[in-house]
Structure 1
Amino acid sequence: MKKCMVLMLAFALENNLQAQIGINTTKPHPSSIMEMVSNNKGLLIPRVSLSGNSDMTTIPNSSNSLIVYNTTIGNGMVPGYYYWSGTAARWAKVLDDLTPIVMTGWSLTGNSGMVNGTNFIGTTDNVDVIFKRNNIVSGVLNTTNTIFGVNSLATNTTGINNTAVGAGNLISNTTGSMNTAIGTEVLSNNKSGIQNTGYGYRALYSNVDGNNNVANGYFSIYSAKSTIGNVGIGASTLRELISGDGNVGIGSDALRSTVAGRGNVAIGTRAGYNVNSSGNLGNNTLIGYQAGMGIISGKSNTIIGANIIGLPAALSNTVIIADGDGNKRINIDQNGNIGVGTDTPKFPLDIRLKTSSWPLAVTSLTYYGINPDAGTAGGTPATYANYTNDIGGFNTNTSLYTEGNIISVGKLSVTQTSLFSDQRIKNIKGRSDRAKDLEILRKIAITDYVMKDEAVYGKQEFKKVIAQEVESVYPQAVSKNGTKVFIPNVYQLSKQNGSTFTFEKPIAIDEKDQQLKVYDESGEIILGIQKITPHSITVDMKGRILKGKVFVYGTEVSDVRTVDYDALSMLNVSASQAMADKIKVLEKENERLKKAQTEMQNTLEYFEKRLKALEKVN
């Protein structure tokens, strides 16, 4: 019976060994060859002492994947589980959290012991290095393009030598080459444009096929799509540009509103802010904080100085040099006229003075190179020209030369004058009729008067001629050269009601006059006249708001008469000669009469002697 039981157990064990082995379980898992179950015991792997990871003596003929627990320390071995790698012919340690990991790549927690020139990140074959974030390409190093940033150069096809650093840069680029985009969404819409450089948020954002543009700053050259050779340095420089090449804006908001135009150069914050020329127009050069503010369609201007604002929208071909407070010191208009102290020079060189008395600024002198002092607005402007020649010595120490006319509204003071009168420059018609000249001179009246412009002349009294009176008897001494000047034919404070100025005293001005000069606290202002009545003038304010009291100077006229006092002097010379001729005749007659008187006296004396002699005889 005992033998029978042993046979039955052996038969059962044989069947189990051929299938699966279960220890402490009757149902080992179908996927396992053996399953052990225990709540308080483990599997004890054989413990051996390995001499090294290539030890083949301790366990001869080790089978691939044989597991042991090594107890030896040394020769690169530490206690722990090892398995035999038949392919490598070595013992490989099973990693655990107590065993330092020996890595051959880069660690996620940093690396040390690097050797310059030996250790690097990259590839050793001709394969691009790619970086990803959230499984989106965020960096590529290849033979021609360099990319760092999510979606930068994401659609590039054949474009080469591009550099994109930052998110969304050159995201639409396909064939564009040699572009540099650093920032966020720089050159985002570029497709085929080449040689563009953008730095800053959305710089050159809209560029599609434009070339050779440089934008450095937030929204710099933001809107341009197909422009060439524009440069914007500073936030929002050339921000609105759509068409136009060769523009340069340096400084925040320089040329910001320029939609079209070419060749404009603006240096300074808000310089040329509104410039918006059309077509191929432009060529403005504006230097200084807010230089050129107000110019919109104007072209070919050169403006230097800070705070030059409020300029006419269409100002063109003008040169303005100002100080840092926006005071325009020198103005050169489109006709080449140079103005000093005036925005609207009327002559080749027009120099004017702003006085310290009311009105705030008046024309004291329009003269080449001569300036009265601002403190002499009471009627005694002192002027002096550095003209120290001998008489007729024209080329000695000449400070001023002009081939045109000189017009002075104020006093002109010089130590001497010398006028050209060479016979070789004249066609002689004959001698003047002295007697006739004397008759003309007798008809010219001398008048006592004071000037209306008291701010310049004060109450100074004059004894001179009136041009209109001279014109009626001696017209060749009076001229009207057509030059437009403002005259003080209103010259009084006004009350302003919108665009209409009203006056206490009646005004007498020509209804054809078109321009009016006024002064407020800011200085001289020129306004267009719309309507004139005996006590009011309505003007086109052009959106201006006048400050404080408004003083109305007068209107612009083109028929101001001037008197040639040299002609009057020569008339006087001729008349004096006529008088001298008459005096000479009278002197001869006087001599004759004197002689006759002497003869008569002698005769009388003779007869008196004879008479006395006769009286004695009788």
Structure 2
Amino acid sequence: MTKFLFCFLFLCITNLYAQVGINTTSPNESSMLDVFSANKGLLLPRVPLVATTNFSPLLSHVAGMTIYNTATAGDVTPGSYYNNGTKWIRVGDASVKDNIYVNNGTLTGDRIVTQNTNRLYFQGPANGNEISFDLGASVNLKVGTLGTNTSSYLRVEAGTSNIDIFTFKGSYASLTCQGESLYIGTGTGTAKDVRLMTNGSTRLFVAPAGNIGIGNVNPKSILQVSGGDVNIDSIGSGIILKSPDSRCWRITVDNTGALVRTLITCP
């Protein structure tokens, strides 16, 4: 009996330093434990976690510890978790739990989205709120809707100032600025014109040198009007001209159509 017990203990101790196979006689040589089954799984210990940062109900955080959590508490939900030595991490969900769909995050480098022939959509909520992009230094870019699909807007905010581009479905569009002057034009050193168009045609043209054309795109003077009349329909209003002696005269007409010159204070 003593010899049998000695042999049994010897075999057990020997096996502690070799691979252990369950349901297999040839465990993988790189494993300490090799479990084989064609129709059964491995049932992990089932414990109720409290939070990813709380080791309870275990005694401490242990790197490599693996369990199946049964509780919904704090920031944990039922599923498999492993411990990295300082917190619990959900198995298979580490990338999801740390991305912008669930938690706030910080980029550690540049990221590029290659669309190829696909479109990139940002779907806003159904209640008509905007999607906001914080560009830093109190600057925000917002895209949103007003009402129930009746209008949309693009807003750029900088401090207490903002510029809006509104489109009102089936009605009109507008460009507005609040808090600051509104500049529309080309940059310094850019020899390009500025045009206002309707129905595909240029109605007002500002040349790079500053000449303005109404009804033409090649003004030869500071203001040139083509293709129509200039209508001044306010009585007493007219055209103001400055004489060589720096006096200003308003040119109007009387009831007979005769020109009337009136000396006025220069604007």
Shorter-chain TM band: 0.3 to 0.5
Give 1 or 2: higher helix fraction. 1
Higher RCO, 1 or 2 (CA under 8 Å, sep at least 6)?
2
TM-score under structure 1 normalisation? Answer: 0.20
Q: Which has the larger radius of gyration?
A: 1
TM-score under structure 2 normalisation? Answer: 0.39
Give 1 or 2: higher strand fraction. 2
